[in-house]
Amino acid sequence: MDRRSFLKGGLLVTTGGLLLSRSAFSQDILEIVTGTTQALKSPRYPLIVRTSRPRNYETPVYVFEQFYTPNDAFFVRWHQPGYAERKEDFKDYTLKIKGPAAKKQASLTLDELKKNFRTYELTALCQCSGNRRGLFVPRVPGVEWRYGAMGNARWVGVRLKDLLDYVGVDPKAKGIVVYSTYNPPVVEGQPRFEKPLPLWKAMDENVLLAFLMNGEEMHPENGYPLRLVVPGWTATYWIKAITDIDVVYDFPPNFWYNTAYRIPKGKFPQVESWDMDPSAPNMPITEIMVNSLVVKFVNENTKKTLYPYELDNTQIKDIRNFAKPGNYITVMGIAYDGGYGIKTVEVSVDGGRTWREARITKSDGRFSWVHWEHTFKVEKRGVYTVMAKATNRVGQTQTFELIWNPAGYHHNVVQSFNLYV
C-alpha cells in the first residue's frame, strides 16, 4: 500500500500497525485497509488498526499528553461487525426501559430524555478490560491491544438511577441487562453483545446514560446517540448506542458474561467485585486496576521531547542520544484506578531501588486519570532505568509480575525504560 499518504499529519509510520485517519471511518474503511487512500481527509489523529472487521482501533500513546482524549482520537472497540455507522441511522431512536422486575415500561426519545431528566457531567476514564493484552506472555487470544485501548473524557448525561426510579424497580430485582438493537449479531444464533449490572451498581449515582462526550455529540463509533458510562468499571459495561434496559429477577444466560469478561477469583485486588455465581472459579470483571503509563520524556536543557513508543504503540525500551550528563529530564505520564483516586505516583530512575514522588499536575475527579511529572538530573554517564508506579487511596498498587489470566485482562505491570546517557 501507499504509505506516504499516512505522512500527512507529520507522522512517520515506522513499523507494524496500519494507521488511518478518523475521517476514514464508515464505508471507506475497507478501501483503506486494502490500500487506496482517497478516503483520507483529516489525518490529524491516525488510529492504529488492530482488526478491521469488526473495527478495533487503538489510540497512539502520544495523544495522552492531552488530558481529555479528543473524540477524533478515541479508541474504538466492537465485538461483532454490524452496527449503525451514520447518525441518520438513528432517526427513530428510542430508549426502552422494561423487563419483568420493572413496575412500568418506558420508551423515550432522546429529546424526552434530555427534557425530563436532570443532566450531570463527570470525567471518567474508559478503558477496555483487555488493554495491553498484546503484552501478555504467554500470549492469549483476543485483540492484541498495546497501551491505547483507553481514553479520558468528559461525559454529560442523565443518571441511570433516575430512569430506574422513574419506572420503579421491584427491590427483589437482581439487576439490569443492557444492549443495543443497533448492534445485533450478524450470524444467526450468535449471542447478542449484552451486559448485566447488579442492582447496587445500576443504582450508583455516578452511572450515566451519556449523550455528550467532551462537549459534543459522540461519534457513532463511540456510542451515538446514547451510551452507558460506568465510571471505575472496565469499558465492557459501557454499552454503546444503548436501546434497551431490562430490569430482571435473574440474568438470562449470555456468553458475554457467563463465559467472556471473567477473571479468576482471588487474584486481583478489588473492592467492588461481583460474585455472580459462587460455585464458579471465576467472576465477572468489574473495576479498573490501578495503573500508570509514561507518555513522554522532555529534556529541559535541549527542549527536545521524546514519545517512547513506535506509532503502533510498541514501547521503545532503550532510549539513546537523548540526554547528556548534567541535563534535567522530565518524565510525564498518566495514572488512574477504579475510582478511589490516585494517591501517589512514584518514579524510580535506578531500576526500582529508590523512588521519588511525582507531582500530580492535573486531575478532574476520582474517575478521571491524572497527569503527573517528575524531573531528575542525569549526573553522569550510564544507564538510568526509569519506572513509574501508581498507588491509589485504598492502597492498591501496580504489580511487577504479570497476573496472567486466560482472557488477558488487567495488565498493570510497571513499565521500565533504559535511558542511556
Ligand X SMILES: Nc1nc2c(c(=O)[nH]1)N[C@H]1C(S)=C(S)[C@@H](COP(=O)(O)O)O[C@H]1N2
Minimum CB distance to ligand X, residue 180 (Å): 4
241 binds ligand X (CB under 6 A): yes
Query: Residue with CB nearest Mo ion?
Result: 128
d(C-alpha 406, C-alpha 301), whole Å = 46
| Gap between the Cα atoms of 182 and 196, Å rounded | 18
Site string for ligand X, 109-128 (x = CB under 6 A): -----------------x-x
Rounded CA-CA distance 369/125 in Å is 6
Q: Kindly tell me which of 75 and 340 has the beta carbon lying closer to ligand X.
A: 75
Q: Report in angstroms how near the CB of residue 71 gets to ligand X at its nearest.
A: 10
Q: Where are the beta strands (DSSP E) in 241-381?
A: 244-248, 262-264, 282-284, 291-299, 305-306, 318-319, 328-336, 342-348, 356-357, 359-362, 370-377
Contacts 24+ apart (CB under 8 A), 182-188: 182/83, 182/84, 182/89, 182/90, 182/241, 182/243, 183/78, 183/80, 183/82, 183/83, 183/84, 183/240, 183/241, 184/82, 185/80, 185/82, 186/80, 186/81, 186/82
Give the strand pairing for 370-377 and 359-362: antiparallel
According to DSSP, the β-strands at 47-52 and 55-58 are: antiparallel
Residues touching ligand X, count (CB under 6 A)? 19
Residues in 153-192 at the binding interface with ligand X, rule: CB under 6 A: 180, 183
Nearer to Mo ion by C-beta: 141 or 382?
A: 141
Give min distance, CB of 235 to ligand X, in A. 3
CB-nearer residue toward Mo ion: 128 or 334: 128
**What, of ligand X, Mo ion, none, does residue 239 touch, CB below 5 to 8 Å by kind?**
ligand X
Which partner from the list ligand X, Mo ion, none does 396 bind, CB cut-off 5 to 8 Å by kind?
none
Q: Give the one entry of Mo ion, ligand X, none that residue 393 binds, where binding means its C-beta sits below a cut-off of 5 to 8 angstroms depending on kind.
A: none
For position 236 contacting Mo ion by CB under 5 A, the verdict is yes
Q: Which stretch binds ligand X (CB under 6 A): 7-15, 203-211, 231-239, 393-401?
A: 231-239
From 95, 128, 329, 414, residue interacting with Mo ion (rule: CB under 5 A): 128
- Binder to ligand X among 25, 45, 193, 274 (CB under 6 A)? 193
Say if CB 344 and CB 357 are below 8 A apart. Answer: yes
Q: In whole angstroms, give the CA distance from residue 59 to residue 149.
A: 6
Residue pointed to by grid coordinates 523512588? 355
Q: Considering CB under 5 A, how many residues would be counted as binding Mo ion?
A: 5
Per CB under 5 A, 294 contacts Mo ion: no
Q: Which residues bind ligand X (CB under 6 A)?
A: 74-79, 126, 128, 180, 183, 193, 222-223, 235-236, 238-241
